Every structure is written in C-alpha cells, then in structure tokens.
Amino acid sequence: DKLRTLELGHNKLTGTIPSTLFTSGTLRHLLLNDNFLTGELPKELFETLSLQQLHLGDNDFGGEISSSFEKLRGLRALFLPNIGFTGSLPGSLFMLSKLEYLSIEGNKVEGTIPTELFDGASKESLIYLNLGFNELAGGMSSRFAELTRLQFLGLNDNYFTGTIPSSLGEISSLTKVFLQNNAFFGNANFMCANDISEQLGALEMDCKEEVTCSCCTFCN
C-alpha cells in the first residue's frame, strides 16, 4: 500500500524533516506539529503535489515562509503556527485555488497583507484565515468582503491601524472574528446587525475605548 497519511504530531521528534518522507509521491496528509524539528524544509516537500493537508506548527524551523508553497496546488489546509517565521507574507500562498484553511499565527511575519489575498485564486475557497500574533501592519482593506466563504478571521495582536471597514459586515458566513490588540479605532456597530451578530460566536475588538462595538463578545 502507498503512504497517504502520516501523523507524527505531539511527540519529541528532533532534527530536520527527512526528504525520504516524500519518495512515494502519494502523501496527502502530513502532520508533524508540536515537535522540536529544525532546519530548512526539504525541496522534496514542495514537489509532493499530492499533498492536501500540511501541519508543521509548533516547531523551530525559523527563516522566511517559502514562496514554493505555491507549487502545492492540491493543498486544502496549511498550518504553520508558532514556527518562528520572519519576513513578509508571500502573496503566492493565495494563488492556491483549493486552499480552505491557512494558519500562520504566532510568528514574526511583518509588512502588510498582500493584495493577492483579494486577487488570487484562494479568495474563492478560504474558510479559515488566522494571521494573529504577528507583526503585520497597515490598514484593513475593504476588500475583505470579497472573501465570501470566510468563517474565521484572526488578525489580532498585530500592528494594524485605521478604521475597520464596514464591508466586513457583508460577509454572511463569518462566525468568529478576532481583531483585538491592534490600533483600530472608530465605530464597528455595523457588525451588530441582527443577521450578522446572531451567527457570530466570537467577536473580539479593542472596544473598551478605541472601537465602538455594542455586540462584541469580548472587549480588550
């Protein structure tokens, strides 16, 4: 039988990811999260076009996020939290037309959100986007409304500024929104319309002083 799923998360694995993991060319699900892995990601990983789910979070890889993830056209879920990544967020990630889940929280990624998020193929597929606990900055684009399938949005604990665009309230699929611990200001009560607020299980903002939000589930 050919290897399709490999789950080795939550162990005490050390060293680098061996390139031999990818020799079968049939691997669909690879979970190596919560270990002590280090070093560069092997180039063979980015040649494994069968991959649909990749979870490398909570390891010690460091470096920048490779633009080679764009090669993994079949990816539906990419989890890269708490790895120590630095540098900017590559726009090529959002060229993946099947990508539904993207998690990059807890790194040191800086700069602005690339426009490819709104122009790339993944805007039609993204359900879960977590960029929290990084060093991202700039304003929040009104084009988030174009992510019509989005259910989870995490932009918390960054350096975003400006007002929260009212177009965010047009995403009827949203169930959880985390925007706290930024420098947003202004009125966000557009999120409190009945048809939106009733389905929001979590809505968190800096609404003690900076942001007005009468329906937030948590005010920082």
E strand segments, the chain: 5-7, 14-15, 29-31, 36-37, 53-55, 77-79, 101-103, 110-111, 128-130, 135-139, 152-154, 159-163, 176-178, 183-187, 202-205, 211-212, 218-219
Alpha-carbon span 44 to 193, nearest angstrom: 49
Q: What mean pLDDT do residues 205-210 have?
A: 94
Q: What mean pLDDT do residues 47-73 have?
A: 96
* Residue pLDDT, tens place only, 173-193: 999 999 999 999 999 999 998
Place of tokens 């979970």: 31
C-alpha pair distances (Å), 160 with each of 19, 63, 144, 178, 214: 38, 23, 14, 12, 21
| Both structure tokens of 25 | 């060319």
Return the number of other C-beta atoms located less than 10 Å from residue 206's C-beta: 20
Q: Helices in the chain by DSSP H: which ranges?
A: 116-119, 194-197
Burial class (CB in 10 A: 0-12, 13-18, 19+), 78: buried
In this prediction, residue 56 has a pLDDT band, given cuts at 50, 70 and 90, of very high
Query: Considering the chain, what is the average pLDDT of its residues?
Result: 96
- The widest CA-to-CA distance across the chain, in whole angstroms, is 59
What pLDDT, on a 0 to 100 scale, did the predictor assign at position 153? 98
What pLDDT, on a 0 to 100 scale, did the predictor assign at position 2? 85
* Residue pLDDT, tens place only, 62-85: 999 999 999 999 999 999 999 999
Please tell me the number of Cα atoms within 13 Å of 44 on its side-chain side.
Answer: 12
Q: What mean pLDDT do residues 193-209 have?
A: 89
* Residue pLDDT, tens place only, 140-175: 999 999 999 999 999 999 999 999 999 999 999 999
Q: What angle do CA 25, 27, 28 make, to 5 degrees?
A: 130
* Residue pLDDT, tens place only, 109-124: 999 999 999 999 999 9
Alpha-carbon span 105 to 139, nearest angstrom: 18
Q: What mean pLDDT do residues 49-60 have?
A: 97
